[in-house]
Amino acid sequence: MAVPIHSKFGVLLLASLFAGPSATLLAQTGSSNAVPSIVRELPADQQIMQALNRLTFGPKPGDIQKVRAVGLDKWMDEQLHPERISDAAMDAFMAHYTAINENQHDLLKQYAEMQRTKRTAKKDPHSELANAKTRADSMAFRKELMQQFGGIFQLGAQLQSERIARAVGSERQLEEVMTDFWLNHFNVYIRKGGPEVYYLADYEKSVIRPNSLGKFRELLEAVAKSPAMLFYLDNARSIADSNHKTLGSAEGRGRAANLARFRRLEAAGRLNDQQKQRLQQLMTRMPQGLNENYGRELLELHTLGVDGGYTQQDVIGVARAFTGWSINQPAQGGGFVFRPDVHDADEKTVFGHKLPAGRGMEDAEDVLTIVSRSPATANFIATKLARRFVSDNPPQSLVDRAAATFIKTDGDIRETLRTIITSPEFFSQAAFRSKVKSPFEVVASAMRALNAPPDSTSRTALAVGYLGQPIYGHQAPNGWPETGESWMNTGAILNRINFGMGVAAGRLPGVSFNAIPGLDTLRAASRAKQVDAVVASILSGIASPDTRKVLESGENPLLANATPDDIARAQAAASNADGETPMTDGAGAMAEMTPQQRRAARQNANTKNVGNRKQMLSGRGLGAVPQLNGIAQIVGLALGSPEFQRR
């Protein structure tokens, strides 16, 4: 956090983003683990605000009144049972996503056909691809492919658009929040290459969403069998080492034995030309040995946690148990397949449990049961859920109670979550507006606050990337950061302020502050009345004196006084909008530049003209910071305020 903040408001903004109401409570109690009162600390309306900020992607106009009318506890119970909530409008909206709606097997077959077309074109001396001399030539061939396989070229953009659209428009908001939680917990990177994007089409729809509030053991197995995860963490390539017995066909065992024999001859330098050719064929057709990637991440990131007490031998045992869990070829429609001829059929020991020799899929299924019922897994999942829904550093007493529910209910996610969101800690002053929103949450909550419809284009999804969190764009399997400090620095704050102004200017499809009941009638009202109305509708009636001063004056000092270094950090924070470089820390991006790059960034940002300075903050987001006035200006400043940036 050694990032300079210029202006008093900038200091207050950053401090308030991290401190929040919890600072006062800690000063009073001296500990964040104080024994919770059996009475909810928050007043009734703040309890509703807390629930709407945590169990949804932000309140829409009128939501507080609706929850008050239904009753908070009844509304929360309804959200815990999404199958009881009609989501007909969202279901109808999904018709826009023609590629996503295709069967995954059909998508994979189209992908395989496209790959064959490209290979054939490369070999054909008369084809445009084989004769391509320039980038324009290559683009011409790509255009031909798009005409022939247009639908599948849209898939990646539709996957990203659909995620944010559901977050904005679904009535089953808690299911959306939990889907987002598990997609991050079981992270898959869209740019892995090959057919990964086509596997992702089914991942959210058939694996994560249906199990987001079910039994953890069922969710874990669905993820383990998903082509998206099998490809991403390379388990589809994992086979028994040559010194272990396998199951299955004599043909499969023969291929494995031949591969092992040829490798031994190769190591001894005794392969003839014919044998070298045969070895190459075998290596092309078969995976290359035991791969520990999935086994390690299953333990470290998916279940037990890094401190879960496993050893390297456990990792190897788990990896051996999952050999043979693979994927059908794209031309066959993809899909999970168990390959007995490459499964390690020897005896294994995992966490002291012996897995007998001669078995198949039962080995990995037993592993999933063992780790899903471990107290370490209960603690790990309870901690992550409490961190998402309560605070960055949740009280251990709450984690312990949630973990106990997890164990008692055999990993029932709904009941574990119920323990957390009905707890005194959830409704404490310490938790109220203590969480910094992720970029995904900022964009979704802004759309909802302005009563905007879901967007079927790529614009809203690109805005999420502009703020530093491209959808499906985190390369490492650990997922996006879960705590506020990872998202906050001067560059990120400047981009968020710029985003708020762009949204208020109507630069996202379907967005207009006129959709907020009452605001459109206040164009001729005094500035003070306009500010009061915006605070009531967008900030739920809560704004600090400093925020009110900014709204009344019409200028954010942090934006107006941005230095060249601040602007360079903002550009760096937005530099991963295309998903190539998962990075959330603009200061870190600045630090990783060479001295020449830093000087160039500062030179580009160095201008005395405030208007030009604002243009430099545009990045690849919503364009240059617009010049607004009246209610639109107040709305934009409110969306960039500390109060809106927290939930």
Q: What is the pLDDT of residue 267?
A: 75
For residue 299, being part of any structural domain is answered with no
- Number of domains into which the chain is organized: 4
The model's pLDDT over 464-483, given as tens digits with 9 standing for 90+, comes to: 999 999 999 999 999 999 99
Whether 610 and 494 share a structural domain:
yes
pTM of the entire structure? 0.84
Confidence of residue 230 (pLDDT cuts 50, 70, 90): very high
For residue 481, being part of any structural domain is answered with yes
Whether 401 and 480 share a structural domain:
no
Helix (H, G, I), strand (E, B) or coil at 413: helix
Whether 395 and 522 share a structural domain:
no
Domain end call among 208, 232, 256: 232
For residue 227, being part of any structural domain is answered with yes
The model's pLDDT over 515-573, given as tens digits with 9 standing for 90+, comes to: 787 887 888 899 999 999 999 999 999 999 999 999 999 988 777 676 777 666 666 66
Q: Taking a C-beta distance cutoff of 8 angstroms, is the pair 440, 448 a contact?
A: no
Whether 469 and 587 share a structural domain:
yes
Q: What is the pLDDT of residue 490?
A: 81
Domain residue limits at 611: 439-645
Q: What is the pLDDT of residue 590?
A: 31
Whether 109 and 46 share a structural domain:
no
Q: What is the mean pLDDT of residues 400-412?
A: 98
For residue 9, being part of any structural domain is answered with no
Q: What is the pLDDT of residue 150?
A: 72
For residue 527, being part of any structural domain is answered with yes
| Highest-pLDDT range among 199-203, 394-398, 507-511 | 394-398
286: pLDDT strictly greater than 90: no
Whether 382 and 458 share a structural domain:
no
Domain end call among 56, 80, 104: 80
Whether 390 and 509 share a structural domain:
no
For residue 601, being part of any structural domain is answered with yes
Q: What count of Cα atoms within 13 Å lies in the side-chain half-sphere of residue 629?
A: 3
Residue ranges with strand state E in 373-480 = none
% of the chain at pLDDT higher than 90: 61
What would the DSSP string read from start to end of 112-160? HHHHHHHHHHHH-TTSTTTT--SHHHHHHHHHHHHHHSHHHHTHHHHHH
The model's pLDDT over 337-361, given as tens digits with 9 standing for 90+, comes to: 999 999 999 999 999 999 999 999 9
Whether 607 and 491 share a structural domain:
yes
Helix (H, G, I), strand (E, B) or coil at 25: helix
Q: What is the pLDDT of residue 273?
A: 73
Whether 55 and 148 share a structural domain:
no
Whether 410 and 461 share a structural domain:
no
Q: What is the pLDDT of residue 573?
A: 63
Whether 73 and 138 share a structural domain:
no
Q: Taking a C-beta distance cutoff of 8 angstroms, is the pair 191, 388 a contact?
A: no
Q: What is the mean pLDDT of residues 246-271?
A: 68
CA distance 584 to 491: 10
For residue 359, being part of any structural domain is answered with no
Average pLDDT, the chain: 83
Domain end call among 190, 214, 232: 232
Q: What is the pLDDT of residue 114?
A: 85
Task: Give 424's DSSP letter.
Answer: T
Kindly state the tokens that stand for 267.
Answer: 């190591």
How many residues does the structure list for the chain? Answer: 647
Beta-bridge partner residues of 542: none
Residue ranges with strand state E in 363-487 = none
Whether 444 and 540 share a structural domain:
yes
Kindly state the tokens that stand for 141.
Answer: 């061939």
For residue 584, being part of any structural domain is answered with yes
Confidence of residue 320 (pLDDT cuts 50, 70, 90): very high
